[in-house]
Amino acid sequence: MAKLVPALVSRLVIIIPYAWLLFFFLVPFFIVFRISLSQTAIAMPPYTPIFDLAEGLSGVFESMRELSAANYVWLTEDVLYFNAYVSSVVIATVSTFLTLLIGYPIAYGMAKAPRSMRPMLLMMVILPFWTSFLIRVYAWIAILKPEGLLNQFLLAIGIIDQPLIILNTNSAVYIGIVYSYLPFMVLPIYSALEKMDHSLIEAAQDLGCTPIKAFWRVTFPLSLPGVVAGCLLVFIPAVGEFVVPDLLGGSETLMIGKTLWNEFNSNRDWPVSSAVATILLLILVIPIVYFQNVQSKSESGGR
């Protein structure tokens, strides 16, 4: 009995995250998936019922027969969806690359800073999270609009004589995504760089590497798990991003998050938007699985 209790507790500890995933990810996903297989209807909610328990088991089988992949077929027929997916992936890829380009030097600088300064620098990276995400994106409107702070500044110092049109273009979306997701890039890279043994760099130099070569042959390869984690943490949410393209992007900005929102709210076509969401998830599963692979490899690789 005395032995059984700790065993039960440790079992329970494992069950909790799985239960969480089951109830808050798997079950909702199956509901979404089921909705994507039904048809729109003028009803509340606006689709044919998933199943009707009132008619017992036969009712469940009845509704099963009504399942159709029509919504998925529809997605392939209208090129809009395909374009939105491709454009989302392109925007997310470019944003991820830009975030890496800016985030890596920041993380490197933080990891090389004196130990006493690191908590403060870490705080500064996390600090923006203390303000609402929406407010921060709205603030970018004030900065980027034609009569905004950026243009006023550039005009004042005489670099430009015409206000730049940034707001409501893809550039503004890039700025917004890079800004919003920078901490997700900086933190994992920082954590990878911070735990690296400095004597490895010294050893590389001792064996004939200039500091720049030592970086590329030792520091960068060893920070790769952090880079991969950071890239996925930026890429995955960026693909489905809705707020940034909606507020900062223009009519040219085509992103799947926005498409999904339109289907859901403007068109009230829940089944099609559910199909859009299901496909989006499938697209994202690929990098997630890759990430899992890299992660477990680096863990078994040890240090």
Partner 1 sequence: MKSLGSIRRSFAPWGDPASKPFISVKNVTKKFGEFTAVDDLSLDIYTREFFALLGASGCGKSTLLRMLAGFEQPTSGEIILDGQNLAGIPPYRRPVNMMFQSYALFPHMTVENNIAFGLKQDGMPKSDIAERVQQMLKLVKLEKFAKRKPHQLSGGQRQRVALARSLAKRPKVLLLDEPLGALDKKLREETQFELMDLQQELGLTFVVVTHDQEEAMTMADRIAVMSHGKVIQVATPAEIYEAPNSRFVADFIGDVNLFDGTITAMDEGFARLESVGGIPIRMVSTEKLSNGTSAAVAIRPEKIRVSRQPPAHAPTNAGEGEIWDIGYLGDMTIFHVRLKSGQVVKASSLNAVRAVEDPLGYDQQVWISFAEDAGVVLKD
What residues have CB less than 8 Å from 220, skipping those under 6 apart? none
Residue 217: CB atoms within 10 A of its CB come to 13
Pick the closer one to partner 1 by CB: 66 or 202. 202
Coil, strand or helix at 181:
helix
Could you say whether residue 297 binds partner 1 (CB under 8 A)?
A: no
What residues have CB less than 8 Å from 279, skipping those under 6 apart? 72, 75, 85
Q: Which of 77, 197, 252, 299 binds partner 1 (CB under 8 A)?
A: 197
Residue 166 DSSP symbol: -
Query: Binding segment for partner 1 among 25-33, 111-119, 198-206, 283-291 (CB under 8 A)?
Result: 198-206
Q: How far is the CB of 108 from partner 1 (least distance, A)?
A: 18
What residues have CB less than 8 Å from 179, skipping those under 6 apart? 136, 140
Could you say whether residue 206 binds partner 1 (CB under 8 A)?
A: yes
Q: Residues 17 to 46: which contact partner 1 by CB under 8 A?
A: none
Q: How far is the CB of 162 from partner 1 (least distance, A)?
A: 50
Could you say whether residue 294 binds partner 1 (CB under 8 A)?
A: no
Could you say whether residue 204 binds partner 1 (CB under 8 A)?
A: yes
Q: What are phi and psi of 40, to 5 degrees?
A: -70, 150
| Residues in a beta bridge with 40 | 47
C-alpha–C-alpha distance, residues 189 and 215, integer Å:
14
C-alpha–C-alpha distance, residues 154 and 123, integer Å:
30
Query: Binding segment for partner 1 among 157-165, 180-188, 203-211, 237-245 (CB under 8 A)?
Result: 203-211
Could you say whether residue 210 binds partner 1 (CB under 8 A)?
A: yes
Could you say whether residue 213 binds partner 1 (CB under 8 A)?
A: yes
Residues that bind partner 1 (CB under 8 A): 197, 199-200, 202-210, 213, 217-218, 221-222, 301-303
